[in-house]
Chain A
Amino acid sequence: MAAEKLERILKLLAELLNASGPLTADELRTKIGMYPENLVAFRKQFSRDKAALKEMGVPLDVISVGSSAKSAEAYFLDNKRYYLPDLDLTDAELSQLNYASNSIHLIGELTEEEALRKLGGYSKQSVDLSASASIGDVDTFNRLFEALSQRKRASFSYASKQRLIEPYLLQFKGEHWYLTGREIETDSVKSFRTDRISDLSIDDTFDAYSLPDAFSGADFSYFSYGDDDEVEAKVLIDKSHVQWVESNLDVPIELNENGDGIAIFVVKNYESFISRVLLLLDHAEILEPDFLRQKLIERLKRLQDSSEGSNA
């Protein structure tokens, strides 16, 4: 039974790949010669076979043919979209892709074994990394990737607002994936956490926009955005907190002899920056500029005064 199904679907694929134009279901039934005579049974089986091809990624299109009174659905396979372009992958390149596939674990439903077979073979070679990253909602991801690959606009709901975006890049940072793109309404480049995107729809138009010459992903240093005059702040970080600052604030740190570090931040939002430094309690100290140091001191004194007043 399985062999018969396999032969039938392969014959269907052979007909579609060799066809000079769209073929109706009836024409395909006649050419393949393996479908049941009963019309209902044929439609059921034909529908399942189409689904199997589509699930594999076969770009099967349906168009209407004939006069409007007697129109019928016809099936068409765009060979340009079906065939993998000649990538000319070397053995070393295929081996590296296999190595990446086996070494990194994306938590979700994605698998690239099929992809690697298409590219020339999958091998379960030895692995020494096994790093993992969460992929979240795979369907959202695939559609966003399609949008940015084909330069199609994406609309979705985010933070209770409907957005229309021209996607530029997908970025993994801090254990999450982010989409960065231009928001049409505000004409500004914004980043969105992909697992917070809902009601996603992708426009059909290819090449609806061009990528800018240069673009970058989300910047998680909120104090880098703001209306304050830009300054460079020099902060002394205790040895015990260097690792945390490096991994959470994404800033290079120069270590001194005793292991403490000096970090230089570009600041455009003073209050936000002071809040970040205060998270480090007395394990960090703003050295420069003096006015930022004084602002931090003033904020702490106001907190003390307020606390004394309310608890008096």
Chain B
Amino acid sequence: MKAPTPEGGIMEEMKERIIEYKISPFRGWRNWDMFSLKGITNWIQGWLSANFSSAWVLFFESVIVILLATTLFALLGLVLVWMERKVAAHMQIRLGPNRVGPMGIFQTSADTLKLILKEGLTPDGADKFLFNLAPFVVMIVAMLLLAPIAFAKGFQVWDLNIGVLYVSAVSSLSVIGILMAGWASNNKYSLLGAMRSGAQIVSYELSAGLSILTIVVLTGSLQIGDIISSQQNGWWLFKGHIPVIIAFVIFIIAATAETNRAPFDLAEAESELTAGFHTEYSGMKFALFFLAEYINIFIVCAIGATLFLGGWMPLHIGNWEGFNHIMDYIPSSIWFFAKTFFMIFLIMWFRWTFPRLRVDQLLNLEWKYLLPISLFNLLLVTVIAILGWHF
């Protein structure tokens, strides 16, 4: 067998492989890069293209992606809810769930089972269609956002060329679901919560977008893959001087606000509006809102980790070859999830420490402080990028 050469071109290589897989699908294992998952994805792609027509390949790949995404959703929901309860408990000098399974890890499964068995009530006078649609809209938006996230080296659903733009565009759709839920519930608390949420998400989109733009300016690309590979010699948080650190802080604040988490949980402020926009939801419909909240946290944290902390890129320092090589031995998926969960922990830490802001203070913070700071910060970053002052 001829080894694939760099000059050979991708088509040559694919042809080689297709022939190879037809003989034995397992012979491709030998050529794998140790810690890249590209091998698996390429092998699946190759095997499918070798055996089916292109339409079927697309179909099967979609099925695989949907299965993986749904599994990831379920797992993330269970893990994050458990994690939140444990983090909260230890901050509040309690133990947290510890009865169902070791360290209570099956507590969320038991809770989910309970929620499935509960009746999904639709209140009298509610707009039934919108009321039942709203949780799915919120959920679908969360699912769509998974597409451009690189979970490990070469493990990404769709590395589209406008990745960052796609994320900020789609994430602002979730407000529609929340407004829908608030309006259709036929409840004044829900309505107030939805209106608060609308004002809040629309405002904080701006700071989030501007802080994301700083990285786009430095990288010169909107593609997630490019942004990650631009951090090969160090993460942007360390390479981009103080402006990027400011952008990172603003991003965390805006992400907390966009996911409606304390101290920005005005949309569901339980001491003011009982449960805000999802007051009237029960059973699995409530669980979908709850799940979507946690998935959204995961996604904003994953985006933050990708942009500022290098995604799956291991910790590399300039030209320290030995150090970089040792860091490469830690698998890329571990890097990605460690960074993401670190950011999730930060956001949970906020929730269990701070009181809630008032609605006018919330908007003041955005329009009077964060937005001017981010605009000025973006200007600074642009100057740095043009003059090439970053590392």
Partners in one complex: no
Interface residues of chain A, those whose CB is within 8 Å of chain B, are none
